[in-house]
Amino acid sequence: MYNIAIRATTWWYFFKISIEERLVYRGDFALGTLMRFLPIITQVFLWNAIFESIKLSGGKGDISGYDYHDMVAYYLLAMVSRAFSSMPGLTGGIARQIQNGEIKKFLIQPVDMLGCLFVQRIAHKLVYYLIAIIPFSFVFFLCRGFFDAGWPPVEIFVAYLLSLVMGFILGFCIEACIGLVGFWWLEVTSITFVYMLLNFFLSGHMFPLDLLPTDPINWQAIIHFSPLKYFAYFPAAVFLGKIPPDRLWFEILIEFVWLVGFVGLIRLMWARGVKRYSGFGG
């Protein structure tokens, strides 16, 4: 119990310091947060042009079950999901601490680096949403007409919130795993670039994964098997009712299994990496 209390106190101090760190340059942080909402306008006009061209060509006005309103609503929800699951700077930060020797402070003190980094990310996300809640609310108010079905039933909404929380933890674990590769490789920039590229396209951030072709290769089945879909596509699809009710909680279970697997993997990589760490630099 004493060790648990000490660890909880340590994490609480990390949480407070991380919030203070984000608020030091609050003007720059707030401006950067607001600028992230500008691409929304481009996306809305882009999908409007796409669906108008479909109508002019005599199409039925939808793509794989998504009409114009569904697509805009999906994009807004995917943006919220990505805000939860994205961890900018985490991978490079871990790799740099390993490379320059800063990681020694976590080896000589009774502080869990992974736990502290996780608490730090919670604090950063909290500050981000406290600032972003105003533009988020404004954007969703202006686009309220695109949500034809309104709020989902309670069960669906609970599943949606659960998917956001697990997406946050899963995103942290995957990016932490890539950063911990620094114990074996001196440079992880290339791996990070490839991961971010795949993540951007295969998470469903750009478009719903239902739009992927199924012939001659069933790309939908391949991508749906990966954990990347839980970063953007899955929460948005849950909210919009695109996940069949008989598969909803099964998909939640699969996400949980991925989560447990990556939690075990980062702990294994940390234990193995520390054993081979030389402690130079710093």
Q: How confident is the model at residue 265 (pLDDT cuts 50, 70, 90)?
A: very high
Q: How confident is the model at residue 64 (pLDDT cuts 50, 70, 90)?
A: confident
Q: 238 vs 63, which has greater pLDDT?
A: 238
Residue 35 located in a structural domain: yes
In sequence order, what DSSP letters do the residues of 64-89 get, joined into one string?
TTB-HHHHHHHHHHHHHHHHHH--TT
Per-residue pLDDT, averaged over 114-118, amounts to 86
% of the chain with per-residue pLDDT over 70:
80
Q: pLDDT for 126-168, tens place per residue?
A: 877 777 777 777 767 766 766 766 788 899 999 999 999 999 9
Per-residue pLDDT, averaged over 31-41, amounts to 66
Neighbours of 89 (CB within 10 A): 12
Q: 248 vs 5, which has greater pLDDT?
A: 248
Per-residue pLDDT, averaged over 179-194, amounts to 88
Residue 131 located in a structural domain: yes
Residue 280 located in a structural domain: no
Q: 45 vs 34, which has greater pLDDT?
A: 45
Q: Is the dihedral of CA 44, 49, 50, 51 positive or negative?
A: positive
Residue 21 located in a structural domain: yes
d(CA 58, CA 50): 13
Task: Say whether pLDDT at 172 is over 90.
Answer: yes
Q: 201 vs 173, which has greater pLDDT?
A: 173
Q: What pLDDT, on a 0 to 100 scale, did the predictor assign at position 24?
A: 57
3-12, 112-121, 139-148, 272-281 — most confident range: 112-121
What is the count of structural domains for the chain? 1
Q: Mean pLDDT in the chain?
A: 81
Q: What is the Cα Rg of the chain in Å?
A: 21
- 234 DSSP 8-state letter: H
d(CA 40, CA 99): 38
Residue 57 located in a structural domain: yes
Residue from 74, 50, 73 nearest 62 by CA: 50
Structure-token pair, residue 15: 């949480």
Residue from 261, 265, 275 nearest 166 by CA: 261
% of the chain with per-residue pLDDT over 90:
22
Q: What pLDDT, on a 0 to 100 scale, did the predictor assign at position 95?
A: 87
Residue 204 located in a structural domain: yes
Q: How confident is the model at residue 221 (pLDDT cuts 50, 70, 90)?
A: confident
Per-residue pLDDT, averaged over 198-220, amounts to 81
Neighbours of 79 (CB within 10 A): 19
Provide the whole-model pTM.
0.83
d(CA 62, CA 56): 13
Domain that holds residue 257: 2-275
Residue from 200, 150, 148, 146 nearest 171 by CA: 200
Residue 218 located in a structural domain: yes
d(CA 98, CA 179): 9
Task: Say whether pLDDT at 176 is over 90.
Answer: yes
Task: Say whether pLDDT at 97 is over 90.
Answer: no
Residue 281 located in a structural domain: no
